[in-house]
Structure 1
Amino acid sequence: MVEAITAVRARHVLVDGAFRPATVRIGGGRVTEVAAYDDGRHDPGALDLPDSARLLPGVVDTHVHVNEPGRTEWEGFATATTAAARGGVTTIIDMPLNSVPPTTTVEHLRLKQHVAAEKARVDVGFWGGAVPGNLADLRPLWEAGVFGFKCFLAPSGVDEFPPLTPPELDAALTEIAGFGGLMIVHAEDARVLDEAPHPPSRAYADFLLSRPDRAETDAIRRLLDGARATGCRVHVLHLSSARALDLLAEARAEGLPVTVETCPHYLCFSAEDLPDAAPQFKCCPPIRDRGNRDALWGALVDGVIDCVVSDHSPSTPEEKGRGDGDLQQAWGGISGLQVGFTAVADEAAARGIGLEQVSRWMAPATADLVGLGHKGRIAVGADADLTVLDTAAPLDVRAADLAHRHPISAYDGRRLAGSVTHTWLRGEEPTAGHLLTREAAA
Structure 2
Amino acid sequence: MQRNDEMKLGLFLWASGYHEGAWRDPSVPANCGVDIGHYIQVAALAVGAAFHFIFLADTPSVSELEDAHIARSSRNDVFEPITLLSALSSRTQNIGLIGTATTTYNQPYHLARMFGSLDHLSRGRAGWNIVTSGFKREAANFGEEDLPDHHTRYARAREFVEVVKGLWDSWEDDAFIRDKKSGIFADTTKLHLLNHRGDYLSVRGPLNIARPPQGYPVLVQAGASDTGIEFAAEISEVVFTTAPYLEHGQNYYASLKDKARALGRQDDQVLVMPGFIPIVGRTKQEAADKLERLHSYEHIDVQIEMANRGLGSVVELRSLNLDSLVPETLPQSHFIQSRQKVYLDVAARQKFTWRELIRFISDSKGHLMVVGTPDEIANVMVETFNQRAADGFNVIPVTLPGGFKDFVDLVVPELRRRGKFRSRYSGSTLRENLGLKRPPNRFAQAI
Normalised by the size of structure 2, how large is the TM-score? 0.40
Largest Rg, 1 or 2: 2
Q: Name the TM-score, length of structure 1 as normaliser.
A: 0.40
Structure ranking higher in helix proportion: 2
